[in-house]
C-alpha cells in the first residue's frame, strides 16, 4: 500500500518512520518531506498547503492512506477535499480543525462545554483590549486568533508588554489576518503537559503523556519556540489527571462539537496546565505535537496502522495501542539564531554515528539534501530521540548522540526534562 505523509518537520519524519516500520511494509511518500524522510521513501515536490497539487497526485497515484501532519492544510480543508475524492485520510475535517484554527472558537467551545480553562475575552479594537488588560492585570496571555506558525502567543509579564503585543497584532499586522482578532486569557499557574488523543468520531484513546520545553534557552528563559525538546511519560500526568482529561476535556469538548454538528476524527492535542492535580486546557491543536510525537511514537509498541484505520473506520479501541515500558527523550538541535533569523545550507556531519547510538533515532526537521550531502534548511534542524530504561538513561543516550553531530552554529538546550529530573532527585 502507498501512504502519503503531508508535511516536512520532525513530526512528519517520526510519522513516516513509524509507518515505514509497519509489519505490512507500506511504500512511503512524503510531501515535501526532508532529508530524513527521503531515506524512508520518496519525497514529492508539493508544499504541504498545495491542496490542488496533492489532490492531483493522489488521483494519479491512488495512495491507500493520506496522513496530514501540519495544521495549515487541515485548517484549509485538505481532509475534506481528499475524502470527497474517496481517499482514506487521517486528519480532522476543516470544521473540526477550527479548534486550532481559531483560538476564539476553541475558547467558545470550552466555555459552552464546561471544560476547565482560563477566563478570556476576544477583541478587535486595540483600545478596548488594552483597557481589559489594565483591569485584569499581569501576567496575562495575548493570542492571535488565527494560525500564526507558532508565533502568535505572548505571555506578558507586565501590562505594558501585553499592550505592546495587542498593538503589534491589531495595529501592526504582525500576524497578518491571523492577528485581526486577539484572545486575551488569564495566565494559568502550574506545570505544563501534553496529551495526544486519537478520536474516531466517538471513541477516544489517550496516547502516552509527554512534556515539551518551549522556551529557547536553558532554565526556561528566552523566546517561545515550536519546542526545544520533550520527554515521555510525564509523571505529573497521574492516573487521576488522565481520568479528568478524558472526561472533563475530551468528553465535554466532543459532546459540544457534536451538538454543533461537527465530528472530530484524527488526533486532538490538548496542551494542559496542571495544578494540584487539576488539568486546565491551555490550547487545542488539531494535529500531533512536535517534538512530542517523536517521544510518543518511539514508545509505541507494534504497528500504528491498525489504530489509524480504527480512527478512519470508526472502530478505534484501547487494545490497538500498546506502550513500551521505556522512557523517551527528544532533544531538538536548532540553527543558531532560531527562533529569530538563522542561516541555512550548513553541512550536517556524523548523522550515521549519531543514529548508531543505542536505542536512538535522529529525526530530521529542517534538513534538505544538497547533492548527496545533508544540510540545514530550517530553524529546528533535528530531533534526537532516545529510549532508555529510565529517564536518566534516555537522556544520557540522547545527549551522546547530540554531541556526536556537528554543523555550523548548532544550538540545543542541555536541560531537557529538568523538572522531571528534579522530581526524581527529591
Ligand atoms: N510542541 C508544541 C506543538 O506542537 O504545538
Q: How far is the CA of 283 from the centre of ligand 1 (A)?
A: 10
Q: Do 191-425 and 2-93 fall under one CATH topology?
A: no
Residues of the chain under the 70 pLDDT cut: none
Instruction: Using CA atoms of 53, 59, 63, 64 in order, give the dihedral in degrees to the nearest 10.
Output: 130
Spell out the residues 6+ positions from residue 140 whose beta carbon is closer than 8 angstroms to its own.
133, 156, 159, 162, 184, 185, 186, 187
33 C-alpha to ligand 1 centroid (Å): 18
Task: Say which residues have a Cβ less than 8 Å from residue 161's Cβ, sequence separation at least 6.
Answer: 138, 154
pLDDT at 246: 97
CATH architecture of the domain 2-93 equals 3-Layer(aba) Sandwich (3.40)
CA of 104 to the centre of ligand 1 (A): 19
Q: State the pLDDT at residue 34.
A: 98
pLDDT at 175: 78
* pLDDT at residue number 176: 78
Cβ-proximal residues to 23 (8 Å cutoff; 6+ apart), any chain? 303
d(CA 338, CA 327): 28
| CATH architecture group of domain 191-425 | 2-Layer Sandwich (3.30)
What is the pTM assigned to this prediction?
0.97
State the pLDDT at residue 62: 98
User: Residue of the nearest CA to atom 3 in ligand 1?
Assistant: 289
pLDDT digits (tens, 9 = 90+) for 360-370: 999 999 999 99
**Contact present, 407 and 346 (Cβ < 8 Å):** yes
Residue nearest to atom 5 of ligand 1 (CA): 289
CATH number of 119-186: 3.30.1490.20
Distance 321 CA to ligand 1 centre (A): 22
CA of 330 to the centre of ligand 1 (A): 13
Give the three cell numbers for residue 320.
490497538
| Model pLDDT, residue 348 | 98
Asked if omega into 41 is within 30° of 0 (cis), the reply is no
Look at residue 177 in the predicted model and tell me its pLDDT.
Answer: 79
Ligand 1 atom 4, closest CA: 289
Please tell me the predicted confidence (pLDDT) of residue 340: 92
Pocket test for ligand 1, best of 267, 289, 331, 365 (most atoms within 8 A of CB): 289
- The ligand 1 atom at the shortest distance from the C-alpha of residue 289 is 4
Q: How far apart are CA 417 and CA 329, in angstroms?
A: 8
Ligand 1 cavity residues, CB under 6 Å: 212, 227, 285, 289-290, 292
- Check: CB of residue 271 under 8 Å from CB of residue 192: yes
Q: Where are the domains of the chain?
A: 2-93, 119-186, 191-425
Residues 6+ apart with CB under 8 A from 287: 11, 68, 69, 70, 71, 74, 91, 100, 266, 267, 269
Amino acid at each position: 500500500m502507498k501512504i502519503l505523509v503531508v508535511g516536512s518537520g520532525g513530526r512528519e519524519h517520526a510519522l513516516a518512520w513509524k509507518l515505514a516500520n509497519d509489519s505490512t511494509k507500506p511504500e512511503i511518500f512524503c510531501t515535501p518531506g526532508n532529508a530524513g524522510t527521503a531515506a524512508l521513501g520518496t519525497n514529492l515536490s508539493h508544499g504541504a498547503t498545495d491542496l490542488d497539487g496533492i489532490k492531483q497526485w493522489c488521483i494519479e497515484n491512488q495512495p491507500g492512506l493520506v496522513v496530514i501532519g501540519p495544521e495549515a492544510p487541515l485548517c484549509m480543508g485538505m481532509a475534506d477535499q481528499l475524502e470527497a475524492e474517496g481517499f482514506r485520510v487521517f486528519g480532522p475535517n476543516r470544521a473540526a480543525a477550527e479548534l486550532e484554527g481559531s483560538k476564539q472558537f476553541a475558547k467558545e467551545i470550552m466555555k459552552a462545554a464546561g471544560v476547565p480553562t482560563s477566563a478570556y475575552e476576544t477583541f478587535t479594537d486595540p483600545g478596548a483590549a488594552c483597557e481589559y488588560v489594565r483591569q485584569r492585570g499581569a501576567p496575562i496571555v495575548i493570542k492571535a486568533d488565527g494560525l500564526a506558525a507558532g508565533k502568535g502567543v505572548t505571555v506578558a509579564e507586565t501590562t505594558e508588554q501585553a499592550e505592546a503585543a495587542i498593538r503589534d497584532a491589531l495595529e501592526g499586522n504582525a500576524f497578518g489576518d491571523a492577528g485581526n482578532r486577539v484572545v486575551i486569557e488569564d495566565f494559568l499557574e502550574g506545570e505544563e503537559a501534553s496529551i495526544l488523543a486519537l478520536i474516531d468520531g466517538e471513541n477516544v484513546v489517550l496516547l502516552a503523556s509527554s512534556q515539551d520545553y518551549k522556551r529557547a534557552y536553558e532554565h526556561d528563559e528566552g523566546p517561545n519556540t515550536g519546542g526545544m525538546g520533550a520527554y515521555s511519560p510525564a509523571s505529573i500526568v497521574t492516573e487521576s489527571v488522565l481520568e479528568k482529561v478524558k472526561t472533563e476535556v475530551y468528553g465535554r469538548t466532543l459532546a459540544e462539537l457534536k451538538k454543533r454538528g461537527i465530528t472530530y476524527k484524527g488526533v486532538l492535542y490538548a496542551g494542559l496546565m496542571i495544578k494540584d492535580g487539576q488539568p486546565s486546557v491551555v490550547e487545542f491543536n488539531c494535529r500531533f505535537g512536535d517534538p512530542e510525537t517523536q517521544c510518543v511514537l518511539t514508545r509505541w509498541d507494534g504497528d500504528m496502522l491498525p489504530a489509524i484505520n480504527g480512527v478512519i473506520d470508526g472502530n478505534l479501541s484501547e487494545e490497538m495501542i500498546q506502550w513500551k515500558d521505556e522512557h523517551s527523550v527528544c532533544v531538538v538541535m536548532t540553527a543558531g539564531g532560531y527562533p529569530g533569523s538563522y542561516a541555512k545550507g550548513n553541512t550536517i556531519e556524523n548523522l550515521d554515528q549519531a543514529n548508531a547510538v543505542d536505542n536512538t533515532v535522529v529525526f530530521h526537521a529542517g534538513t534538505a539534501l544538497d547533492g548527496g550531502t545533508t544540510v540545514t534548511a530550517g530553524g529546528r534542524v533535528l530531533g534526537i530521540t532516545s529510549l532508555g530504561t529510565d529517564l536518566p538513561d534516555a537522556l544520557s543516550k540522547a545527549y551522546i548522540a547530540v554531541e556526536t553531530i556537528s554543523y555550523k552554529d548548532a544550538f540545543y538546550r542541555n536541560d531537557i526534562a529538568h523538572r522531571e529530573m528534579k522530581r526524581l532527585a527529591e
